Structures are given as structure tokens and as C-alpha cells.
Amino acid sequence: MHPHLKYLIELQAVDFRLIEIRERISKFPKQLAEVEARVTAAKQLITAAKDALLTSQKERKTYEMDVEQWKERAKKYRNQSGEVKTNEAYKALLHEIQNAEDEAAKAEDRLLERMVSGEEYDRQLKAAEAAVKQVEAEANKERHAIQAEYNTAQKELAAAEAARAASAAAVPEDLVDHYERIAKRHGGIGLAEIRGEGCGQCGVHIRPHMIQLLQRDGNEEFYHCETCTRILYYPDHSAAPGPAAPSPAPSTTDSSAAPAREH
């Protein structure tokens, strides 16, 4: 193995960790927005219930006035009955009284309906207010939990960034640049271990001869995957397992690694 490769492998392990932490941090705004959306939705139910209640109260006032007016009119006609001279006029007046009483009864029915539905809207409003209290309490817990996770992730990020600086310091600068150029093009992953007979990152087949070269003691060459261009290494299975790398994408193409003499 190239003498600098083991430091690059350490650097890659820290970078995997950084990718994971940054991924987690990037999800916090969405998590918070979901909590706020639930609170907003619950509050909208209060607004809707208040609007319905207000409309119902306005209608109730209108119907109360209707009842009053029709009753007034019926009373007025009844008071006129003593002054009527002809039978015809008396019949007409009775008809008017009946009509006004019918209208008053209808208005009373409408009023009663409104009073019943008003109670229902009142119940809905109280239920919506209770629901908001519950949603707010849950949202507060979630906000605190998200904030705590965020603070932890920020600490982990700072620690991983410090660890990265330490790992990078152990690798020659031009090699770090080379690794970072490859990593930048490939989702932050510049190295690929050999897995089975393939590239551990893109999955392409690597020729057995190349794998032998990578395994050879005293090898001082860097070899790159011909397909994804990542720096290849043969994992040291005697060492403790490092952080898990993302699974390679399945590939049906066949290729082999090419030696590179940049370092």
C-alpha cells in the first residue's frame, strides 16, 4: 500500500462522518417547518370556527328582528279590526293577520335553527381551542427535541471538522488536493475500497491483476477506478472495521483500474 494511503483512508472516514452529520443538519429546517405547519393548521380551525360562529350570531340577530317585525305587524292588524266597516275589508284584514302570524312562526323556526347551530359552532370553537393547546404543547416538545438534536449535531460537526483538519495535516498537500478534486465530483467520496472483485463505490469490475498490485507490499503507486476515477485501495481486513461506506451502485459494465503516477 502506498505509505500515504492509510492517512487518506482516515481522511475519508472523517469525510463520511461529515457527510452524515451535514445531511442530518440539512433536515432540521424541514422538521421545524412541519411542526409549525401543524400549529398553523390547528389555528386555522379556530379561525374557521370563529367565522362560522360570528355569521351564525349575525343571522340570529336578523331572524330575531324578523320575528319581532312580523309580530308587530300582526298586532297592528289586530288593533285595526275594530275600525273595519265592511265584511270584505274585515276578511282582508284577517288574511293579513294570518299571513303575519305565519311569517312570524317561520321566522321563529329559522331563529331556533340558528340557535341550535350556534351552540354547535360554539362547541366547535371550544374544541378547536383545546386542540390548539394540545398541538402547541406537543410542538413545544418537538421544537425543544429538534433544537437539542441540532445542538448535538453542531458539536459533532465541529469535532469532525477538527478531526478532518488533523487527518488532512498528515497527508501531503498536493495529495489532499487530488483527493478533494475527486471527492468534489463524486458526492464527497474520493476513495474506493476493493470489494470482492469490484470498485466498492461504483461497483465496476476490477481486473484481478490490478487487485494483486494493490495488495502487494511495498506498492507505492496510486491506482484509480477507470469508471468513477476514485483512488482505489485494498482494505486491510486485519484492522478494526471503519465507518460503513455507502453501498456501491450495481453496475453491469466491465472495466479495470488504471495506474496513475501523480504521486
Of the ranges 22-30, 94-102, 139-147, 217-225, which one interacts with Zn ion (CB under 5 A)?
217-225
Q: Looking at beta carbons only, is 67 or 211 nearer to Zn ion?
A: 211
User: Least separation, in Å, of the C-beta of 224 and Zn ion?
Assistant: 8
Contacts of residues 59-68 at CB distance under 8 Å and 24 or more positions apart, as own/partner, are 59/114, 60/111, 60/114, 60/115, 60/118, 63/107, 63/110, 63/111, 63/114, 64/111, 66/103, 66/107, 66/110, 66/111, 67/104, 67/107, 67/108, 67/111
Q: Looking at beta carbons only, is 12 or 56 nearer to Zn ion?
A: 12
User: Least separation, in Å, of the C-beta of 199 and Zn ion?
Assistant: 3
Q: Which of 199, 206, 214, 231 binds Zn ion (CB under 5 A)?
A: 199
Of the ranges 55-63, 91-99, 173-181, 194-202, which one interacts with Zn ion (CB under 5 A)?
194-202
Of the ranges 107-115, 192-200, 215-223, 251-259, which one interacts with Zn ion (CB under 5 A)?
192-200
Q: How far apart (Å, rounded) are the C-alpha atoms in residues 232 and 5?
A: 9
Q: Looking at beta carbons only, is 51 or 197 nearer to Zn ion?
A: 197
Q: Which of 104, 225, 231, 257 binds Zn ion (CB under 5 A)?
A: 225
Contacts of residues 68-73 at CB distance under 8 Å and 24 or more positions apart, as own/partner, are 70/100, 70/101, 70/103, 70/104, 70/107, 71/100, 71/104, 73/100
User: Least separation, in Å, of the C-beta of 162 and Zn ion?
Assistant: 30
Q: How far apart (Å, rounded) are the C-alpha atoms in residues 8 and 179?
A: 8
Looking only at residues 226 through 245 of this chain, which bind Zn ion when binding is defined by CB under 5 A? 227-228
Question: What is the size of the binding site for Zn ion (CB under 5 A)?
Answer: 6
Q: Looking at beta carbons only, is 175 or 194 nearer to Zn ion?
A: 194
User: Least separation, in Å, of the C-beta of 262 and Zn ion?
Assistant: 17
Q: Which of 202, 211, 231, 257 binds Zn ion (CB under 5 A)?
A: 202
According to the binding rule CB under 5 A, does residue 74 interact with Zn ion?
Answer: no
User: Least separation, in Å, of the C-beta of 146 and Zn ion?
Assistant: 37
User: Least separation, in Å, of the C-beta of 27 and Zn ion?
Assistant: 28
**Where does this chain bind Zn ion (CB under 5 A)?**
199, 201-202, 225, 227-228
